[in-house]
């Protein structure tokens, strides 16, 4: 297979294009998420939830992306992708984003919540009854778990775990041995709730809360009898947390990762958060302790961990301050009570989650587990959660004597421990547990059912753009594809055999597999569009994904656009392609849609002289997905279902006039302008309306 379908004379040398910075693009994505916390048309507690989501995203950004910038700044590097300058520019943007978060929290969200009787009561605001109750709570629930550590040569600075809550205290006077050791650390156990609701007897029936940090702050003096508590501050340290295991040099990957998890919480320090009022003396002490520059210090006027405010949201019962409950309908192509195996003999089924329920996928597996004619079940597991009905069904399948093979990705970031636990459980009861290919993450989402039907064995498959996680399936937009198509099911079987035996992969019928063919095929399809456009034909590309950072694919798109191909990209998060750059990328538009649900589906559309192709995929257009992961893309050949996907997941998003943002050439994003001549619509809201009431309409 050639690397290009375009003759060299049709491939002009594109002008040098400076791509956008990936890390700045990630922060720009979080600016768009934060916009939902500003929106007055969003219910108040949901606005607070979006604020928490941004904080959670920033935690992961620092845990994964900040370390090379920080390391370069400490080496005083002056050039390259990571340098002093890159660290300073990134720190400036991050500091601005954090400042906006806390300004919104203090000046808008908390005053608005207080008008609805929801308030976090500070120590200075508490009346006598409230202070008495907080004191009793502290003495009963908190103090027994605290162990202040005074620092001296025999008590060095304690290990501070990643993202844990701590206090640093400067003490006056002398300790019990007559020494003037002035610094003490109080580590706050993670088992304690960060938000505590006051009982009605002291809150007057309102939703009054106290933060754990405020409870401890109000009783610090009692932790150091005989000493004077002077300066103090809460602080939180973020550490680099990407696990690094040399798979080529370990005999048992599961054991190596289990050991690595023990050290994850104590990686290199990358960010220090302290209270806004923290003295320079204490903040400088902490920076020296963790070997961090000033740019890594974040002074915050409020809780050092806004993520924990989700506890408050969960403790408040105020339906009017939340999104109206959305009940996903049962998949419209399925009829409850009708056998999946009989239904799939009539044609493929597509489920658009979360507008249609993931329960359809669970019901498919449940029928396979309970059907005595089903002999084998094979499945990949990337993220499934710690409490999963799906995993319980696989366990039941083993108990019923079926051959169960599970490819568990142990290196799914921040889900390693859950996946190791599932792998050990399944292995212990007799399932065949595999860990994919050394050096590659298995990110493909596929399930294969083998069933005896008369004298034949027949296969049924489920392919998906998203994870086998019932919880996130209610929050993420994805496509599930159920099929009995022999061409597809044979491909899926061959991929499973390849993952298990590492044997040479046979030529596949329909599936494009990374790291072997997917990248090459996408480039060829893009180049084919360019060749057709250059020959006075028409080429059209529309692709929807979570991230676009693979430079080879980006440059192929730029060349295709320059040759006349019309390209629309719907990229939720990081995008390094500078769209609408005059004379360079005029034919390429990039937009991002941020909505109530997390956009997660990957859909790739190519139209060459009116001949359409559409692929669903587990892969984003990132180098890691193309080269360092096992990923799938597969075509949708049913014309009716292909048009359905085009309508619901491409056209709807290209015409979104509420939740969409357009990427500008300089890497900034502009909210779409609403057409005053007609009512604007949001793609997700329109899909919710389309699917609402489907169950009632068919009498389910």
pLDDT in tens, 261-276: 455 566 889 999 999 9
Q: Which residues contact 456 (CB under 8 A, 6 or more apart)?
A: none
> What is the CB-side half-sphere exposure of residue 326 using CA atoms within 13 A?
21
Lowest pLDDT segment from 214-218, 572-576, 689-693: 689-693
340-510 CATH fold: Endonuclease; Chain A (3.30.870)
pLDDT at 386: 66
- Choosing from 69, 443, 481, 519, the catalytic residue is 443
| CATH class as words, domain 22-321 | alpha beta
Cis peptide upstream of residue 515 (ω within 30 degrees of 0): yes
**In this predicted model, what pLDDT tens digit does every residue of 463-480 receive, in sequence order?**
999 988 888 899 999 999
Across residues 197-205, what is the average pLDDT?
93
Name the token pair of 210.
Answer: 């106290």
User: Which CATH architecture fits 514-697?
Assistant: 2-Layer Sandwich (3.30)
Distance, CA of 371 to CA of 397 (rounded, Å):
10
pLDDT at 170: 93
Cis peptide upstream of residue 354 (ω within 30 degrees of 0): yes
Across residues 579-583, what is the average pLDDT?
94
Q: Which residues contact 395 (CB under 8 A, 6 or more apart)?
A: 425, 426, 429
Q: Which residue has the higher pLDDT, 294 or 258?
A: 294
**Does the pLDDT value for residue 75 go beyond 70?**
no
Distance, CA of 153 to CA of 279 (rounded, Å):
24
Name the token pair of 465.
Answer: 């753009």
**Does the pLDDT value for residue 247 go beyond 60?**
no
**In this predicted model, what pLDDT tens digit does every residue of 299-350 receive, in sequence order?**
999 999 999 999 999 999 999 999 999 999 999 999 999 999 999 999 999 9
Give the other-Cβ count within 10 Å of 161's Cβ.
15
Across residues 115-126, what is the average pLDDT?
94
Lowest pLDDT segment from 22-31, 96-105, 177-186, 432-441: 432-441
Q: At 635, is the secondary structure helix, strand, or coil?
A: strand
**Does the pLDDT value for residue 192 go beyond 50?**
yes
**Does the pLDDT value for residue 11 go beyond 80?**
no
Instruction: Give 163: exposed, middle or buried? Use CB within 10 Å, 0-12, 13-18, 19+.
Output: buried
Q: List Cα–Cα distances, 220 to 196, 228, 379, in angstroms.
A: 18, 10, 53
**In this predicted model, what pLDDT tens digit does every residue of 350-400 receive, in sequence order?**
999 999 999 999 999 999 999 999 999 999 988 777 677 888 999 999 999
pLDDT at 156: 84
pLDDT at 700: 63
Distance, CA of 101 to CA of 344 (rounded, Å):
49
Task: Tell me what percent of the residues of the chain surpass a pLDDT of 90.
Answer: 71
Comparing C-alpha atoms, which of 673, 664, 669 is closest to residue 579? 664
- The mean of the pLDDT values for the chain is 89
Q: Which residue has the higher pLDDT, 396 or 155?
A: 396
pLDDT at 3: 35
Across residues 160-184, what is the average pLDDT?
85
Residue with the two structure tokens 């080269």: 627
Distance, CA of 263 to CA of 282 (rounded, Å):
27
pLDDT at 257: 44
Lowest pLDDT segment from 13-17, 228-232, 359-363, 475-479: 13-17
* Domain(s) of CATH 3.30.870.10: residues in the chain: 340-510, 514-697
Beta carbons of 238 and 163 less than 8 angstroms apart: yes
Mind giving me the DSSP string for 331-388?
A: PTT--TTS-HHHHHTS--EEEEETTB-THHHHHHHHHHHH-TTEEEEEEEES---SS-
**In this predicted model, what pLDDT tens digit does every residue of 494-550 receive, in sequence order?**
999 998 888 888 999 999 999 999 999 999 999 999 999 999 889 999 999 999 999
Distance, CA of 433 to CA of 410 (rounded, Å):
11
pLDDT at 261: 47
Across residues 78-99, what is the average pLDDT?
85
pLDDT at 155: 75
The pLDDT-based confidence of 250 (bands split at 50, 70, 90) is very low
Distance, CA of 86 to CA of 69 (rounded, Å):
6
Please give, one letter per residue, the 3-state secondary structure of 549-617. Answer: CCHHHHHHHHHHHHCCCEEEEEECCCECCCCCCCCCCCCEEEEEECCCCEECCEEEEEEECCEEEEEEE
589 given a catalytic annotation = no
Distance, CA of 225 to CA of 234 (rounded, Å):
20
Q: List Cα–Cα distances, 682 to 231, 234, 514, 656, 673, in angstroms.
A: 50, 41, 33, 5, 13
H helix runs in 76-116, sequence order: 84-104, 110-115
**In this predicted model, what pLDDT tens digit does every residue of 280-304 receive, in sequence order?**
999 999 999 999 999 999 999 999 9
Torsion sign, CA atoms 629, 621, 377, 454: negative
H helix runs in 170-252, sequence order: 200-203, 212-217
Beta carbons of 586 and 580 less than 8 angstroms apart: yes
* Domain(s) of CATH 3.30.1840.10: residues in the chain: 22-321
Across residues 596-600, what is the average pLDDT?
96
Task: Tell me what percent of the residues of the chain surpass a pLDDT of 70.
Answer: 88
Q: List Cα–Cα distances, 315 to 85, 309, 311, 474, 686, in angstroms.
A: 44, 10, 6, 21, 30
Distance, CA of 637 to CA of 247 (rounded, Å):
39
pLDDT at 453: 96
**Does the pLDDT value for residue 44 go beyond 60?**
yes
Residue with the two structure tokens 């969409």: 660
Helix or strand (DSSP H, E) at 210: strand 207-211
- DSSP conformation class of 157: P
DSSP lists the bridge partners of residue 166 as 187, 235
């Amino acid at each position: 297979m050639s690397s290009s379908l375009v003759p060299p004379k049709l491939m002009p040398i594109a002008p040098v294009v400076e791509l956008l910075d990936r890390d700045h693009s990630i922060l720009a994505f979080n600016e768009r998420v934060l916009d939902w916390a500003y929106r007055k048309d969003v219910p108040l507690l949901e606005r607070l939830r979006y604020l928490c989501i941004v904080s959670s995203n920033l935690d992961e950004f620092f845990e994964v992306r900040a370390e090379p910038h920080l390391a370069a700044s400490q080496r005083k590097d002056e050039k390259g992708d990571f340098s002093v300058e890159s660290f300073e520019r990134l720190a400036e943007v991050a500091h601005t984003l954090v400042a906006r978060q806390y300004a919104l929290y203090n000046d808008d969200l908390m005053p608005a919540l207080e008008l609805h009787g929801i308030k976090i009561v500070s120590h200075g605001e508490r009346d006598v009854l409230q202070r008495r109750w907080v004191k009793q709570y502290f003495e009963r629930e908190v103090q027994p778990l605290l162990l202040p550590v005074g620092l001296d040569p025999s008590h060095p600075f304690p290990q501070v775990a990643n993202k844990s809550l701590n206090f640093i205290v400067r003490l006056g006077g002398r300790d019990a041995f007559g020494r003037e050791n002035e610094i003490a650390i109080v580590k706050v156990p993670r088992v304690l709730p960060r938000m505590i609701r006051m009982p009605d007897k002291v809150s007057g029936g309102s939703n009054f809360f106290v933060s754990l940090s405020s409870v401890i702050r109000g009783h610090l003096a009692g932790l150091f009898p005989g000493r004077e508590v002077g300066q103090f501050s809460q602080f939180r340290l973020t550490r680099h947390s990407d696990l690094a295991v040399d798979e080529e040099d370990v005999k048992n990957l599961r054991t190596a990762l289990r050991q690595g998890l023990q050290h994850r919480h104590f990686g290199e320090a990358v960010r220090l958060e302290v209270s806004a009022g923290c003295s320079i003396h204490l903040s400088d002490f902490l920076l020296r302790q963790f070997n961090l520059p000033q740019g890594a210090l974040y002074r915050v006027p409020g809780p050092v961990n806004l993520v924990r405010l989700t506890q408050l949201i969960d403790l408040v019962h105020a339906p009017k301050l939340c999104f109206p409950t959305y009940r996903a309908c049962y998949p419209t192509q399925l009829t409850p009570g009708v056998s999946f195996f009989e239904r799939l003999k009539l044609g493929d089924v597509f489920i658009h989650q979360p507008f249609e329920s993931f329960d359809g996928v669970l019901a498919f597996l449940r029928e396979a587990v309970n059907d005595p004619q089903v002999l084998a079940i094979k499945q990949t597991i990337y993220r499934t959660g710690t409490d999963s009905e799906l995993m319980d069904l696989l366990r039941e399948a083993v108990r019923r004597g079926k051959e169960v093979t599970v490819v568990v990705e142990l290196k799914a970031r921040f889900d390693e421990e859950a996946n190791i636990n599932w792998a050990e459980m399944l292995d212990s009861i007799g399932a065949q547990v595999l860990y994919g290919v050394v050096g590659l993450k298995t990110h493909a989402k596929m399930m294969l059912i083998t069933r005896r039907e008369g004298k034949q064995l027949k296969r049924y498959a489920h392919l998906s753009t998203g994870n086998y996680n019932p919880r996130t399936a209610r929050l993420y937009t994805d496509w599930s594809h159920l099929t009995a198509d022999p061409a597809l099911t044979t491909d899926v079987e061959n991929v499973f055999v390849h993952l298990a035996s590492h044997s040479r992969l046979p030529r596949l019928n329909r599936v494009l597999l990374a790291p072997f063919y997917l990248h090459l095929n996408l480039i060829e399809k893009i180049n084919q569009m360019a060749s057709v456009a250059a020959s006075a034909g028409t080429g059209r590309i529309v692709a929807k994904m979570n991230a676009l950072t693979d430079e080879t694919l980006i440059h192929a798109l730029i060349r295709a656009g320059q040759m006349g191909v019309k390209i629309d990209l719907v990229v939720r998060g990081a995008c390094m392609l500078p769209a609408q750059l005059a004379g360079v990328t005029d034919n390429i538009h990039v937009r991002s849609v941020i909505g109530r649900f997390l956009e997660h589906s990957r859909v790739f559309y190519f139209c060459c002289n009116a001949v359409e192709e559409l692929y669903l995929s587990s892969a984003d257009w990132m180098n890691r997905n193309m080269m360092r992961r096992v990923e799938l893309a597969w075509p949708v050949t049913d014309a009716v279902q292909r048009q359905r996907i085009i309508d619901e997941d491409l056209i709807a998003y290209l015409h979104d006039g509420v939740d969409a943002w357009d990427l500008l050439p300089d890497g900034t994003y502009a909210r779409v302008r609403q057409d005053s001549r007609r009512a604007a619509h949001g793609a997700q809201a329109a899909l919710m309306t389309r699917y609402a009431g489907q169950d009632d309409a068919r009498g389910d």
